[in-house]
Chain A
Amino acid sequence: MNPTDWVVLLGTMLGIAAYGTWRTRHTDNLNTYLKGNHNTGWVTIGLSVMATQASTITYLSLPGQAYENGIAFIQNYFGLPLALIIVCAAFLPIYRKLGVYTAYEYLGQRFDAKTRLLGAALFLLQRGLQAGITIYAPAIILSTVLGWRLDLTIIFTGLLVIVYTVTGGSAAVNLTQRWQMAVIFGGMLTAFLVLLSKLPGDALPIAGAMGKLQAVDFTPDFKRRYTFLSGLLGGLFLSLSYFGTDQSQVQRYIGGAALREGRLGLMFNALFKIPMQFCIVMLGALLFVFYQFQPNTPVFFNRTEWQRHAQGPQAATFRAIEEKHATLHADKLDKIRVWVAARGRGESTAEIAARKVMLEAQKASEAVRQQARDALRSADPKAKVKDSDYVFITFILTQLPHGVIGLLIAVMFASALSSKAGELNALGTTSTIDLWRHFRPLAAHDEARNVRNAKCFTALWGFFAIGFALFVSFAENLIEALNIVASIFYPALLGVFVVAFFLKRVGGSAVFWAAVAAQALVLGLFFVGKAYPTHEIGYLWLNPIGCAACVIFSLLLQAVIGTKGPRPNTEGVQ
């Protein structure tokens, strides 16, 4: 980055922060702090929903995921439009009708206090863990730009996010997200155009021949992570949980001026989410082609981590790996050119043979990248050996024109801040409304105290996220790690809401114990899969299994205990 980039970066960041602070300088009641401004229109809600879930992790991690595994991840979003239609038709009117702060308040009204607490606890647990993952996003950016150690940048950005969130609240998040999204789209478009200008004419066929453009896979294989079926069914339940029961999303759309605004905001996402994600995964697939033609493609994209160990006692091993990678990379480029030439001549036999050789060269190159990860792990068992999240940021810093680099870094960092702010805000809200106020009902009337507590809880969750990120390492890339955590803790929660909305005969005790049993089942399936990988099912399948288990267990338990228990409270239920 040069001085121009720094000026653009700091100017953009300060502008966003100043605007949010100025517009929300009088945010002093709980209603506004937690739900946001009630005059929020559908465009703001739609962008806010999109920005809360399409965080910097999406922009950093998704191109890297596609770089490594192709664009099949797009199938993960196939259930999303259907889920949003269900949320608009069934969930949203009920939340609006009851005028609740959090989705879990509804559970208290429909069932009982313990079910409400269980719902809030499941949300807090999974969102708290996710907050520890998402904090990596801004930290990765700073770590790459400044060359700082990742743990230091996690602490620095974590503290920054806490200050940003505690001083702003929900309305500030909403307001600034609208502008951030505009700048993000502009920045991503610029990156895409720059990438296209640097690609060879045969980029798409090359990406396809190397197995990166398989968007839809109709194979009925439960062990594959991303197929049409797992995306449609697993993705439907995952999205339904996310948009219908996760406070960080519900908070975005229950704040609208009218039911119409919330619905249109969600339909906006239903229409544009898959095309938007497709553009991002295509960016990753094309980045893969781009790096095939670069002579200095790194063997490991997290350069800060690599350099830290490459200068240590095992320097010779690291140098040997780099040299081997450079040789194999050049060899692979020759093979790609042979395939392109055969394809250009229209010689199908030569093309098939050349493609086979090209794919073998790719395998050899991947084997060296694996050696690099093993070497890092051997040098430092706690080293972060997943580098796909660094692919796009490396491209930005090394290939884009100055000024644009500063702009993109600024918007990605701002997006990371606002996404984390939304997340922490939802955690603070739920902790205040569903836990603190439940145990201290007399304090519920003290407006200023409520706001102070919400801010304290927000800060506490921020510190929890920093601690989790510092002490836990995971083998997945960021976007997959988030979805896996969600798929473990969401299904039982969704099951509780499905029972609440559609099974009026079931009471609080039945659904509570059913949710506990369903959660145990999902945890069991997940850990058995990890212990015996041959029996592991794709994580998206945990969503329909857990939800269905909760619903079935509820009906069974209600049949057993229903006649003895209190009458279920169905007031306010449509």
Chain B
Amino acid sequence: MKPSPPDHSTGDESPGVPGFRTWRGVYLFVFGFFVLVVVLLAIFSRVFA
């Protein structure tokens, strides 16, 4: 029995997500969204503290 064949894709292919041509773009979007969420949470804490 052998494990499934190795995947030799380079990882540089297009993510196939509308609006994003590279994975770096996807990562930047996720990071930006994370920063936005933290800022909103900080504002929320300040308003209700």
Binding site for B on A (CB under 8 A): 29-31, 35, 38, 74, 78, 81-82, 84-85, 88-89, 92-93, 96-101, 105, 204-205, 207-208, 213-218, 228, 258-260, 263-264, 267, 270-271, 274-275, 278, 444-447, 450
Asked if B49 and A213 make an inter-chain contact with CB atoms under 8 angstroms apart, the answer reads: yes
Complex Cα distance A217/B38, Å?
11
A-B contact pairs, 5 of them (CB 8 A): A35-B4, A214-B45, A215-B45, A263-B23, A263-B26
Cβ contacts under 8 Å, A215 to chain B: 41-42, 44-45
Which residue on chain B has the smallest CB distance to residue A86? B27
Q: Which of B10, B16, B17, B44 has the most CB of A within 10 A?
A: B44
In the bound assembly, the distance between CA atoms of A70 and B6 in angstroms comes to 47
- A96, B44: Cβ atoms closer than 8 Å: no
Q: Are A99 and B34 in contact (CB under 8 A)?
A: no
Contact mask for chain B residues 18-44; partner A; CB cutoff 8 A; 1 contact, 0 none:
000001001100110110011001101
A543 to B47, CA, bound (A): 32
Q: What are the 10 closest A-B residue pairs judged by CB atoms, nearest first?
A: A208-B48, A99-B6, A96-B7, A213-B48, A81-B34, A93-B11, A215-B41, A216-B42, A215-B45, A85-B27
Query: Given A35-B4, A259-B9, A260-B13, are A274 and B37 neighbors across the interface (CB < 8 Å)?
Result: yes
Contact (A74, B41) CB under 8 Å given A85-B30, A270-B34: yes
Interfacial chain A residues near B17, Cβ < 8 Å = 264
Contact B11 A259 (CB under 8 A): yes
Q: How many angstroms from the CA of A315 to the CA of B25 in the assembled complex?
A: 64
Q: Are B1 and A450 in contact (CB under 8 A)?
A: yes
Q: Which of B4, B9, B13, B34 contacts A82 (CB 8 A)?
A: B34
Whether the pair A216, B41 counts as a contact (CB closer than 8 A) is: yes
B contacts, CB < 8 Å to A:
1, 3-11, 13, 15-17, 23, 26-27, 30-31, 33-34, 37-38, 41-42, 44-45, 47-49
- Nearest residue, chain B, Cβ from A285: B48
By a CB distance below 8 angstroms, the chain B residues around A35 are 4
Judging by beta carbons under 8 Å apart, are B7 and A97 in contact?
yes
Q: Bound complex: CA of A31 vs CA of B5, how far in Å?
A: 11
Besides A92-B11, A208-B48, A259-B7, 15 new A-B residue pairs in contact (Cβ under 8 A), listed by A number: A31-B3, A82-B34, A85-B30, A89-B23, A96-B7, A99-B7, A100-B3, A204-B48, A216-B41, A216-B42, A217-B45, A259-B9, A263-B15, A270-B30, A270-B34
Min CB distance, B24 to chain A, in Å?
9
Given contacts A263-B15, A278-B41, A447-B1, contact A208 B49 (CB under 8 A): yes
Task: Indicate if the CB atoms of B30 and A271 lie closer than 8 Å.
Answer: yes
- Report the minimum CB–CB distance from A250 to chain B (whole Å): 13
Expressed in whole angstroms, the minimum distance between the Cβ of A515 and any Cβ of chain B is 25
Contact A96 B6 (CB under 8 A): yes
Shortest Cβ distance from B17 into chain A, in angstroms?
Answer: 7
The answer on a CB contact under 8 Å between A85 and B6 is no
A82 — which chain B residues lie within 8 A by C-beta?
31, 34
Check B45 against A213 for contact (C-beta < 8 Å): yes
Assembly CA distance A35 to B4 (angstroms): 9
Knowing A81-B30, A214-B45, the reply to whether A260 touches B1 (Cβ < 8 A) is no
Q: Which of B30, B38, B48 contacts A267 (CB 8 A)?
A: B30
For B26, what are the chain A residues with a Cβ–Cβ distance below 8 Å?
Answer: 263, 267
B30 and A260 contacting across the interface, CB-CB below 8 Å: no
Q: How far is the CA of A141 from the CA of B5 in the complex (A)?
A: 42
A109–B29 Cα distance when bound, in Å, is 34
For B7, give the chain A residue with the smallest CB separation.
A96
Question: Given A93-B11, A96-B6, A96-B7 in contact, is the A216-B38 Cβ separation under 8 Å?
Answer: yes
A213 touches B44 (CB 8 A): yes
